[in-house]
Structure 1
Amino acid sequence: MDGRGRFAGADSHAGHGRFAERVGGGDHSRLRGGSAADLRGNRQSPGLHTLARRRESRQVSGPNVFARAKRDALSPLRFYLALFGLVLVSIAAFRPQWGRARVETSSRARNVVIAIDVSRSMLAEDVRPNRLERAKADVADMIDSLGGDRAALVAFRRTGVAVCPLTTDRAYLRSALEALTPDSAPRGETDLGSAIRESLNLISADSSAPGLADDHSAIIVISDGGDLRGGALDAARQARKRSIPVFTIGIGDPRTGAPIPSEDGRGAQRFKGEEVRVKLDEAPLRAIAEASGGRYVPLATAGTAETTLGAIYRRFLRQVAAKEQNEAEDRKVERYQLFLVPGLALLLASASLSRGRLPKARADRKHLKVEKRQI
């Protein structure tokens, strides 16, 4: 019995054990697995927890609190510095001016009177588009070479007519030049002498720069030829006495010439049934240049541009002595510096504050990496 009891007890204990193992085996295994995971987690979590604690302590305590507060306070300051700097620089870009100041200026200048033949023969088309338009185009080119020189404009046919007084106003001079037509002067035979006399009168009558008279002046006559019987040589000699050279510019073809367009625009002018052709007559132009101490230069023929009036001016008329002029004028005072300098200073200040944050940010990142390696 005792044996059976011991065997029964043993069997009962073993059965209960096996039952408990069957019933709770899964839970035990889960507990064992959970314990392993918890163990691994407990091995890692202290490092992360420590890092987080250190971050929090660095953010909420010590000098970092003041550094962060300082950076947050500087952020709007940088914005306003940059904003006001840009506003001031923008104002300076408009070059504000107020007040006036008397400024002394010094320049070298000449008087140049340009006399242009506007007779109907200047409508001949042996140069393109025609002689008159080619002369006007070349005078416009010469205007760009004038520098500080003063220029006047005379139109002539039978008599000379001043269409623009001596001036440095290039826009006014160009406007008068563009308006030239055969109707700009009275009809009649081309009188070269009247062109020279009117040019001399313009130089004498000018009172805006009395120091520029005579020996600092020159006359340019642009024509396809004309009559010397009107006292052209006498006018040229008078110019020479006043030390005013006359430069004559021939325009047109001296060999074959070209027909003159009729006034109604229907073909060419005719005389006794024959077409009227006109050549460049160089002889009177040469004679005037020699008598005055100037020079004769043919402009171009057959529509070529081998010689331009601007090139003639730069080559020959620059030899005429220029008068040193001292002038005083009232000018508005530019004040853009009052805005530009402080504007740039504000922009530089804003940029320097922005750069000041970079070293601090790099130091924080470096410190964080060191902490991770230590953990």
Structure 2
Amino acid sequence: MEFGNTASIKFVVIPILTVLFLILGVRKREKILERIGWKKDTIIMIVKTLFLSLGGILVFIALLSPQKLKEEEKIAIQGSDLYVLMDISKSMLAEDTYPNRLEISKKELKEILNNLKGDRVGIIPFSDSAYVQMPLTDDYFMAINYIDAIDSKLISGGGTELLEALKLANNSFEKTDAKDKNVIIFSDGGERNPEILKYVKDNHIKTFIFGVGTDEGSVIPIDNGFIKDNSGNIVVSKLNDNFLKELARESGGQYYSLNNLNTGNYQKLIADIGKLDKTSQRDEKLNIYEQYYQYPLGAGLLLILIGYFLRRKEKEGEYV
């Protein structure tokens, strides 16, 4: 026998307070009867207190969900392996999307994780360089914690080294013997790079790309104002998605827009991922339990009711 809901131990205060108030009420009533000259029936009071206390304890035990392991079952989990390549260059701080491009990307990625089932996900932030922040895992709760930690200061510099991020993802796929290599990219674009196109084709990497930002663009805030060019003019960063669209198309993937008017394209991505071959297979153990909470719950409520409604007929100077 074990308890399946130990988190509810904090609610022990509820039955304790309930029983305490009931007992205090009984004692208060007894004192009133004593003042008007009626006798106290100590045995009845003890029985009443015992029933209320024991009932409260049983209700608390029921809250802990007592259970017994019935059987163990192995279930096969199938899914895809996905690496998320998150652009954290300075341009991703532009505020043409609210609150900025990086934050809206993180929010969209969380929506993706909330809708995945069985797929393993890894995260690679990139800027002037790239690194594996989180290897492939199906622990989406842990992944969301990693997403919260992403900011533009993780990597110094403001460039966009997408090729290095792709190489890291590819090396990780090869270490896990993945048959298919799928990456999700969040970026505001960059100059056309034939080397990247050749790399994804040679290594059979399929890219699903979110182009983050707007055609109008925005300035890039920094601590002391805004980023300026060599001539001292304030730089306006615009979405440069021509190459991103080409990369998605040539790799056999898809392109999606991400800005304040297009924040639901994660649903299209989920649908596209659902069409992928589920090459990641693993077994997970599922424990099946027999639940017994209903027995202490029923007994506890019954004892509380009996104790609460336990009454005597009072006469002056005696109980009958």
Instruction: Note the 1:52-201 alignment, pairs <5 A.
Output: 87-96=57-66, 102-187=72-157, 189-201=159-171
CA distance in 1, matches of 2:139, 2:133: 14
Would you say the 8 A contact 1:192–1:230 is kept in 2? Answer: no
2:212 is matched with: 251
CA distance in 1, matches of 2:134, 2:195: 24
Structure 2 SS opposite 1:270: coil
Structure 2 SS opposite 1:308: coil
1:234 is matched with: 198
Which of the residues 239, 251, 262 maps onto 1:306? 262
Shift of 1:128: 1.3
Shift of 1:93: 2.1
Would you say the 8 A contact 1:220–1:248 is kept in 2? Answer: yes
Q: Specify which structure has the bigger relative contact order, considering alpha-carbon pairs within 8 angstroms and separated by 6 or more residues.
A: 2
Greater share of helix: 1
Structure 2 SS opposite 1:274: coil
RMSD of Structure 2 on Structure 1 (CA): 3.7
Q: 1:79 to 1:324 in 2, by over 3 A?
A: farther
CA distance in 1, matches of 2:286, 2:85: 34
Pairing 1:266–2:220 present = no
1:160-184 deviation digits (Å, cap 9, x = unpaired) = 2111111122232122212222232
Structure 2 SS opposite 1:245: strand
Greater share of strand: 2
Higher Cα Rg: structure 1 or 2? Answer: 1
Compare 287-296 and 312-321 and name the one that shifted more. 312-321
1:233 alignment partner AA: L
1:366 is matched with: none
2:84 alignment partner AA: I
2:200 alignment partner AA: A
Shift of 1:280: 1.1
Shift of 1:200: 1.9
Would you say the 8 A contact 2:91–2:158 is kept in 1? Answer: no
1:341 alignment partner AA: Y
How many matched pairs?
A: 266
Structure 2 SS opposite 1:313: helix
Pairing 1:214–2:214 present = no
CA distance in 2, matches of 1:245, 1:205: 18
Shift of 1:99: 7.0
1:132-176 deviation digits (Å, cap 9, x = unpaired) = 111112112222112332211111123321111111222321222
